[in-house]
Each structure stands twice: as structure tokens, then as C-alpha cells.
Chain A
């Protein structure tokens, strides 16, 4: 039995004629931060809502520790919906205590935990204020506290970083890291790819309702056609090499794309034979480039 793993197994969902999800599958292991990226309408929110039982899937299932997720296991998930939701006229502390109790904590533990998260997220002065009187940033902090207050075993966060100031982004990142290192699988979606790249152990790219790429950031970046950046006085030598194509040329710098099986050492020798080489490196695409690449090829093929 997979211990501490959240599995999304071939989930499909359609709204009338529109296919929202098509065999969406991935898993998040214990202690792992999984970043979920994709353009708007790709199916990230739908996936998360299905995982939380807020929506029903047409087929497929969500498992936690090898068992299908039901209402009892769902109580152990911390959830932050994309559309933030709290009672506007309820006080911060009352709200958190209430949510902790709803997730199965007894009243004393609920108070203790709510106080703890209020302090950790810097909301101590605001604990007796109604949520609607808080600034947007502070409302976000309360929302995070609401997802964490029952000490969940799994975290599912939809766009947790949107609308946060840089300080809050740091607090949020730190909290997520900490939760992951405590063995909690954490899934979150985000449009801030640099943040995902920095923070996540693994990344899944979603397009048109299915996962089109997933892996560690390094794996993703080193995948695809290998490219080399070479700086040397001329690039005429490269055109003569078998399986090498000049993609881009900018003064003395050029970007080469290698066909499968071409040894980069052969290329280096050829370059040195032609003249002095000031730079020779493997070009790794950023997550943003990868993302753009995946999404555009996907939309072209569909």
C-alpha cells in the first residue's frame, strides 16, 4: 500500500459538450511539493475540486494511502479554493476554530491550533476582527490558516500565491516547505512559474484537461531536443556538421540544435578546429519556455 501518497487516477469530467478533464493522472508523494501549472481553463481547478469531493468526476478516482478518498479522509485534507471563501462577518478566531472543529478537532485542540496559526501568520492583532474588515493580504493569510488549522495530512492549494505581497509570499513558501518536510504531500497550482521552479520538487504541466509533462524541474528542463550555445568568431563550421542545425545567430553567439545521437564533444572539436571558443554550454530552457512550448504545441495539435 502506498503510504502517504495522493493519487489522481485517470479522472475525466465533462460539462455537456466541453471536456474539462481527460484522463488526468498524477501522484504526489509524502514530503513532496508538487507544482501544478497550466494556462487558464486547462483543468487545474476542476482537478482540485474533484479531489476535495466538491465536484464529482465522471470517471476515475482519487486515492489517499491506496484507498479511495471519502468524506472521512477528505477531512484530513487542507484545502484552499481558488475563489477565496470565508464568512465575511465572522471574527478571525471564531472562524478558524469553527473550521478546525468541522474537520474533526475537539474544541480545545481547535482553539490551540487556531491561536497557533494566528500567531505564526502574524494575525494576532486581528484575531477579533471580522474578516471583511481585513486587508486583502490579511484575508489571504486567514485563508491559508483555514487550510492549515486542522493540521491536515494532505494540502491542496489552488493559486495560494495570487494576491500576496512579497513578505506573505515568503511566509507562504516557508510554511509549505515546512509542511512538506513534515511528510505532508503538498499540491498547489500557480501562474508564477519562477516561484514554482524555485519551490517545487516536482512539476506537472496541464493542458486541455490532461497532464502533458511531469517530473522534477531538472528533468523537465533537460528533456526535449538538446541545444548548445557556442561563442566563436564564425559559425560556418557548424553548418557542415551532420545532424546539427543553427537555430539562432547573434553576432559571435549561436544556438545549435542537435539531432538525436549527435555527440556534443564532436561539435566542440569542430568548433575548436575553426577558431577560439569563448563559451560552450548546454542551453536549458526555463520553466516558462518549457511551459510556453508545451502549451503552444498542444493547442496547435488540437
Chain B
């Protein structure tokens, strides 16, 4: 199909991205080289960070993407360009680490520098904008997420990043990394499940008994307001008392400091979204639907299980999405009170001023909550669709 277009349309967002790319390529260091893990490093521009042919190739590809960002209008073309750029620079930074490190030197560390991160940001912005404009359905978004996760797994498993400082930190701690990962997931998902078990009935009761509604919501709202580390602190005193005076509590592994106060705090934070959304979901079930169900002779319990809860489900899921993203982030703070999780590396890294150790804790957390948000959003869309089909 032929359409008439103005000869030259300069995309505003694309122009911003192109400027970012220009600054990243020619005015900022691509990687940082450090003689050992802790000393401050020196930046290397892209042209000095790769063999000449490689540097030229990367610059050519990325400039091509910048041109595309400015001139191309179709989201699909822009997305393809952004992806091409990303699959060029990610292996390139790993390759650059091997190139910059002197042969046989095991102390030297190479990390991605501001130039790399700017490039990644610019390309990710381009991809995000294109994806937003494509308006992918839930399955499309899940597919895009799986592709991205697959590419990331390939990058990490292939060893292309093996020479980067981040992966060296990981290699030194592979065992504790996965232990903390399990702990992090247990804290985030376990407290969410507990909150669902307690919050769903609480939400249903408050739906039935209007008198309870505002006091429950207000109480949970106050809990939600308390900053995480303060709530951890407030819980440490009574739990420590329990552990010291109730042998059963101590035998269950409850101590003042550690995972118990973190788990309970995350559970308490999770209650408000679950309860509030259960109530909101049940409240939006149309009165004539419940009327009809009653007319069909369904008991109160059958109405709740077969009609009201399924119709309220998308809204309840939206509450669970809030909880999950919130918990994955907050579980990072648990490490401060000895609760473990990815925060362990973040706080260790802060203590040792080792950026790559901080990233080793922070990046998986960000990736996890990002993936959780996309997956749950897609599921919510799918259940909404299902609920509409039933109407």
C-alpha cells in the first residue's frame, strides 16, 4: 500500500535518542579499567576499548540505529533497530573486557562505564517507545519478555561476559548468590501467599460487613505508611522477647533479628493491596448478576465461589501485582536486619564501595520485579478478557 508522506519527518523523541547515542559513543568512556577490585578506575572510550575493526563495526551499527530513530516512523522498524543495537553492544562490552585486560592479569577489573549505560538507556528507550506504540496484546508482551529473557540467558551462559567485573564477583559467590536468590524469592512470594490467605477472607468479610470496612482499611493504611526499616525495627523487639521467653518460638527459628521480622513486615505491607482490591473487586460485581444467581437458587456460598469471586478476580490480581512488585523491592532491605536476600550483596557492596557487588544484588532484583510486573499485567489482561467473554 502506498501512502503519501512528507519527504522528511524528524522524530522528536528519536532526535533526543540520537543525541544521547552521540554523547555516549564519542564523549563518554565505554568501560572502566581498574588495576584491582577496589581502586578507582580510568575510563576508556569505545575506540580504545575494542580492536579497531570491532570499534568501527559497533559505531557503524549504533549510528545506523540513531539514524533509524530520527527518520523511521514505523514502530516495528524502530523496534528492530533498537534490538539490533542492543544485541551489538551487550556482547561488545563483554568482549571489550577481554581486550582491555592485560593477558594473564587476574586482579584487573573491567566494568561497563557511563557510555555503555547511556547507550543501553538510549536503545532501551527506543525499544520501549516502539513496544508501547505497537500495543502488543498480553501474549505478545509475554513473548517479548521470553525473548528478552532468552537473549539474556544466552549472553550469560555463553560466557561472553565472563571477563567483566560483575561476573567475576558472581563467580566468587556463585553458591551464596543462589542461596540468597532462594531466600529473596521465599521472602517475597511467601509473604505474598500468606497475605493472600489472610487478606482474601478479610476482604470478603469487610465486603459483607460495611461497619468494619473503614477501620480495617485505615489500620492497614497506617501500616503501609511506616517505612520498611522502621517496621522491621519495631518488630524486632517483640520477636526478640518471644524468642527469649517462648521455647517453641525459638525452636521455630523465630529470632529478633533475621528473616522473621522481615517476613512479618512484608506480610503486613501486603495486606492493604490484597484486602482493598478484594473489596473493590467484589463491590464492582453488578447487583443484577448476583440477583440473577439468587433467582437461580444458588446459595450464598455458591454465589460467592461461582459468581462473585471469578468476576472480582482481575481486580484482586491487580492487588497481587502491586504486592509482588512491592515485596520484591522491599525484600532487598531485609538484608539490613540479617534477613538475607539479594540485598546482602547490595549492602556488602556499599560497605566495600564495590559497585559491581552492588549491581550483583540490584540487577537481579530489578529484573525480577520487572518480569513480575509484565507477567502479572498480562495475566490480568487475559482474565479481564475471560470475564468479558462470560458476560
Partners in one complex: no
